[in-house]
Amino acid sequence: MQEQHYRTPSKINAFLAINGLDSRRALHRLTSVFLPLDLCDELAIAHSNDIAKGGENTPIRTVAKEWSYKISVEGNEASLISDQILDKVFQLCSQKYSLTGYYDIHLLKKIPLQSGLGGGSSDAAALLRFLDNQQQIPLRAHDFMALALRCGSDVPFFLQPRPSVVRNFGEIVEPFDTFGGHTVREPSWLLFKPSCGISTAEAYRCLAQRASEFYLSEEETEERLKESLQSFAEKEPGDWLFYNSFQKLFVEMFPGITPLLRALKDRHYACGMSGSGSAWFIPLARGDDGRDAMRQIRNHLGSAVWISKVSGWSSM
């Protein structure tokens, strides 16, 4: 049985501007800075030419007589939510590829669910690469990217995760290592996730209802993006400029987080929110072990808050 193992990284959105809604495609246009982090799920994919048959106690999904698959998930937040996007990858790939045999998928979840850290999309990208590599004639690059976008708007980025500006619906990925002649420095990051949260669908619905307030024009987006990238290259982490169209909405819905954000700012910590939430991130200055920030987070949000200190892209 052929088996591959993948460490599928997370990401943060150091900048995320929602530019509007394409009503024809029912998709939002965005401009974002994606930074991959070394907080990873672990995905094992085994394939054999023999087709496994499921019974009453074996959750094997027989899609056609030529092939079948099984997905098992474990971890602190193992649930059906974790494998829904992998189901979607199989369904979409079955329309493009000649799938045969039996696929046994095992996913160890370490990236929190519904956090804005991209765990599901990263897992999907790994499975998509595996299935494409199996084909005698892989898809052309354009068609492969289109398939990735159908799997999810963050999936194209995770095909080759590097610091990138991501545009439009997620299919335009522009990697960068420098900005304005300066190397973009890589700090350690402190991530935390409150127990409160909002679904991505609900967050986008709320933004659309208040479009004039939350959507950012392309001109203003480019100005703010330039300021953010310049701060990453030239300033200390405590002075980095983050932007997220969803952050004001989140704070409105969960005002209890405001005292924490003020306390972190008073201690010269820059803090931003990833995706539509509910995970937040803090870049740590050189020599800062993050203990003071962690103490503030626990004091304000309680001991049940999820916290993780992680490295950036070069350690991946």
Q: The CATH number of the domain where 36 resides is what?
A: 3.30.230.10
Instruction: Output the pTM of the full model.
Output: 0.92
Does residue 240 sit within a domain? yes
| pLDDT band, residue 223 (cuts 50/70/90) | very high
Range of 66's domain? 2-175
Residues 293, 147: one domain? no
Residues whose CB is less than 8 angstroms from the CB of residue 202 and which lie 6 or more positions away in sequence, other chains included: none
Q: What is the CATH number of the domain that holds 245?
A: 3.30.70.890
Structure tokens at 174: 């522009």
pLDDT tens digits along 225-240: 999 999 998 999 999 9
- Quote the number of domains for the chain: 2
| pLDDT band, residue 95 (cuts 50/70/90) | very high
Domain boundary among 107, 140, 175: 175
pLDDT tens digits along 252-306: 999 999 999 999 999 999 999 999 989 999 999 999 999 999 999 999 999 989 9
* Mean confidence (pLDDT) of the chain: 90
Residues 78, 212: one domain? no
Phi, psi of 278 (to 5 degrees): -110, 20
Residues 201, 138: one domain? no
Residues 127, 16: one domain? yes
Gap between the Cα atoms of 27 and 186, Å rounded? 32
- In this predicted structure, the answer to whether residue 176 has a pLDDT above a threshold of 70 is yes
Taking CA atoms, 39 is separated from 118, 154, 227, 304, in Å, by 11, 16, 27, 19
Mean pLDDT score, 93-121: 92
Residues 133, 6: one domain? yes
